[in-house]
Structure formats: C-alpha cells, structure tokens
Amino acid sequence: MSRIAYVNGRYQPLRSAVINVEDRGFQFADGVYEVIAVVDGRCVDLAEHFDRLDCSLAALRIPQPMSRAAFSSVVEETARRNRVGDGLVYMQISRGVARRDHPFPPNAKPTLVVTARRHVLPKGREDFPGVRVVTARDIRWARCDIKSISLLPNVLAKQEALDKGAFDVWMVDGDGLVSEGSSSNAWIIDGRGTVVTRPTGPEILGGITRDRIISLAREDGVEVVERPFTVDDAKAAREAFLTSTTTFLRSVIRIDDAVIGSGEVGTLSQRLLDLYITYARKGIVCR
C-alpha cells in the first residue's frame, strides 16, 4: 500500500509529495510539529496535542493554518487513508515559503504537512523491557517548551545514546538537574514511593503523555510531585522511567553504570504503564 501525505490542501502519494526548497522549515527549521499516537484507529489526546501546537505556533508567531475542526478532519482523514489502526500521525507547520532572508516574510502562508504511518505500539507488558539511559550535557536552547522542528541537539543526543548501547540520553542542565530525554520526559520514584518529574517550564517539553500519567497516577492515589531532580537523585531512586507518545512508558533500569532499584522493571512503573495502556486503548476521543 502506498502511503498518502497531506501537503498544503492536497492528499497525494508520499513518495511524490514535495516541499519548495525555499520553505523556511527546510532552510531555518522555522516551524513546529506534533506526533500523535493512534490506537485502534483513534487519536490519543488529540485536543491536548492541538492545545500544545497552538502554544508552539503562538510562541513563534506562525499563524494557524486552519481551524481546529478542519485540522482535526485532516488528521483523521490522513490516518484513515493510510489505514492506520495502531500508529502515529505526524504534523508539521512551517512559516512558509519565501526568498531566504532571516526576518519573518510579510506574506508567507504557513506550510502544513500531515503524514501517518502504522507503528506497532506497545501493547502488553512484554513490549516494555527496562532500558538503559546515559547522561549527557543538555546543549539545547532556552525555549525547550516550544515543540520546534529544530531537533539537532536531540538527534545528536539520541545517537550518542545508541553509540553507547543505551536506549536514550537523559540530558543534564548546567545546575546538574536532569531536564529530559532526547524525545521523552524523565521520571524517578523516590525512596518514599513518590513519583517525581521536572516541572514544566522553558527547560523541557511539556509532554502530553507526561500530563496524562500525572493525572492517571493521582486518580489512582499515587503521590506525584513536580520538582527537579539531580543525576545523583536519579541513580539513588527506587525506580525510574521515561514517557512519550511513541514509547508510552519505559522503565529505566540503568543510568550510566548505576543499576536502578532491583535492576528490573519496577512495580509502580509497571502499574502506571498498565493504567496508561488501558487509557490509550479505550479512554480516548478523537475531537
């Protein structure tokens, strides 16, 4: 089956879809994006992804390409045309096409691309073995809360992790605090059983999965505290995990050379994962 992309108002075969070489996304990484999980043909937390997209667009002063209702239809239709049952929708908006020059072009129209692909999303516990992360300096800019397509530091961090045989990097800021993974949020569970994750702010991307896990945990009576933690806190933690749209929740069983807890997937991490899978499989509306 050939894949279909939505590009500026038209559905077309992905393999022949094109973007102008003077698109500012291509030349300046002047754009934003979202990745949304599709489970059983429905988008998980679509409204929340659109809310975050609105914030990213507003922060960069890129106009909305279309109304939310129309945009939702495009997302659903792209998933449908690609016959995505379980998978991912990717959407990217750039400031548009203009002769290369740094200032915002006065009349550019945002470029909108939506693609969708099947992806075997984690289903049961067996799909979630514990992973190792390595720590590395966070070399990103001061607005990590914007979901910008400028991902070079994240790409370098992920490759560094893979080169070291790890699943991901946990990036560490100048104060020795863990900011987040290359494309995921970082969490620990301290000795008292409190779930800890860094507060939202310019230092991290406020993950949609992160927010969902916080509310599912609290509804289940688990204490969650949003506070920064150090690498030493993480290495001494009872459990650790990371979350994202693509991975859901992965238990972290080693940080650098330190074994976390018993070195196996932790009980509370497992519980939170079970809650999330249940939520993603049935608790969702595509709006």
DSSP H helices, 9-103, are 24-28, 46-60, 68-81
Residue 15 CB: number of other CB atoms within 10 A? Answer: 8
Residues 6+ apart with CB under 8 A from 51: none
164 catalytic? Reply is no
Nearer to ligand PDD, 64 or 200 (CB): 200
CB of 102 vs ligand PDD, minimal distance in Å: 25
CB of 215 vs ligand PDD, minimal distance in Å: 13
Quick check: 118 and 85 in contact, CB under 8 A?
Answer: yes
Nearer to ligand PDD, 56 or 244 (CB): 244
CB of 25 vs ligand PDD, minimal distance in Å: 15
Nearer to ligand PDD, 97 or 269 (CB): 269
Nearer to ligand PDD, 249 or 265 (CB): 249
Nearer to ligand PDD, 108 or 280 (CB): 280
Sign of CA dihedral 167, 172, 178, 179: negative
CB of 183 vs ligand PDD, minimal distance in Å: 4
How is residue 172 written in tokens?
């560490």
CB of 195 vs ligand PDD, minimal distance in Å: 16
Quick check: 17 and 121 in contact, CB under 8 A?
Answer: no
Quick check: 234 and 240 in contact, CB under 8 A?
Answer: yes
Query: Rounded to whole angstroms, what are the CA distances from 148 to 5, 142, 145, 154, 225?
Result: 20, 12, 9, 11, 27
* Active-site residue (options: 109, 123, 147, 235): 147
Residues lying near ligand PDD in the complex (CB under 6 A) are found at 35, 154, 180, 183-185, 205, 207-210, 243-246
Strand 195-197 with 224-226, pairing: parallel
DSSP 67-86: -HHHHHHHHHHHHHHTT-SS
Positions marked catalytic: 147
